[in-house]
């Protein structure tokens, strides 16, 4: 079981992991409604190294990215759910709009991972990760599963003929 750490302690944790000779992997996202796609993705991320640190968008960041109806779950609950997963070692928050540059600079990961709808060229993180000596990996998504699709199914289950 992982821990939820404030941003000001993440740098310390990451340095300790690295000084212990552990390979640190990062990923980031909203993780608003945890689903099987997230679980598969996080397991694959964990398999890439020894320690998985997950940066989640703050509530305000999610609202700016997804609109006023999001997030469904507040950041404290999203973080707690992720930290409860065996494959996640540490969870923290970032407030940038889907660009976790400062999070990456704090952690200095060996590997930073994103899901399959990104390309190395389209990610602003790629340059930063490579500058600090890390590697960026793109993993495929679990097809047919997304928070938006789950929300749509719930909506249509409650309001069948809008």
Can you spell out the DSSP letters for 30-73? ---S--HHHHHHHHHHHTTSSEEEEEEE-HHHHHHHH-TT--SS
- How large is the average pLDDT for residues 39-50? 97
- Which residues, other chains included, contact 41 with Cβ-Cβ below 8 Å and sequence gap of 6+? 27, 115, 139, 141, 142
Q: What is the pLDDT of residues 54-67, one digit of tens each?
A: 999 999 999 998 89
Per-residue pLDDT at 64? 92
44 confidence band (pLDDT: 50, 70, 90): very high
Look at phi and psi of residue 29 and say left if phi exceeds 0, alpha if psi is from -120 to 50, else beta: left
Per-residue pLDDT at 134? 97
Position 41 pLDDT exceeds 80: yes
- Percent of the chain surpassing pLDDT 90: 70
Boundaries of domain holding 55: 3-158
- How large is the average pLDDT for residues 83-111? 92
pTM as predicted? 0.91
Q: Tell me the three state secondary structure of residue 136.
A: strand
User: Considering its fold, how many domains does the chain have in total?
Assistant: 1
Residue 71: asked if its preceding bond is cis (omega within 30°), the reply is yes
3-state helix, strand, coil in the chain (%, to 5): 40, 20, 40
With CA atoms as reference, report the closest residue to 37 among 116, 95, 100: 116
- Percent of the chain surpassing pLDDT 70: 97
- Specify the DSSP class assigned to residue 87: T
- Specify the DSSP class assigned to residue 150: H
Do you know the residue count of the chain? 162
**Which CATH number covers residue 20?**
3.40.50.620
């Amino acid at each position: 079981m992982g821990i939820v750490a404030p941003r000001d302690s993440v740098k310390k944790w990451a340095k300790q992991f690295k000084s212990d000779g552990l390979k640190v992997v990062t990923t980031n996202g909203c993780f608003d409604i945890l689903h099987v796609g997230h679980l598969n993705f996080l397991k694959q991320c964990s398999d890439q190294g020894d320690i998985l640190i997950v940066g989640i968008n703050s509530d305000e960041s999610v609202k700016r990215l997804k609109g006023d109806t999001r997030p469904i779950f507040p950041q404290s609950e999203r973080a707690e759910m992720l930290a409860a997963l065996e494959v996640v070692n540490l969870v923290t928050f970032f407030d940038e709009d889907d660009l976790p540059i400062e999070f990456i600079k704090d952690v200095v990961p060996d590997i930073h991972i994103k899901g399959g709808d990104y390309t190395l060229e389209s990610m602003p993180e790629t340059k930063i990760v490579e500058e600090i000596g890390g590697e960026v990996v793109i993993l495929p998504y679990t097809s047919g599963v997304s928070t938006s699709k789950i929300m749509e199914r719930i909506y249509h289950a409650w309001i069948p003929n809008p």
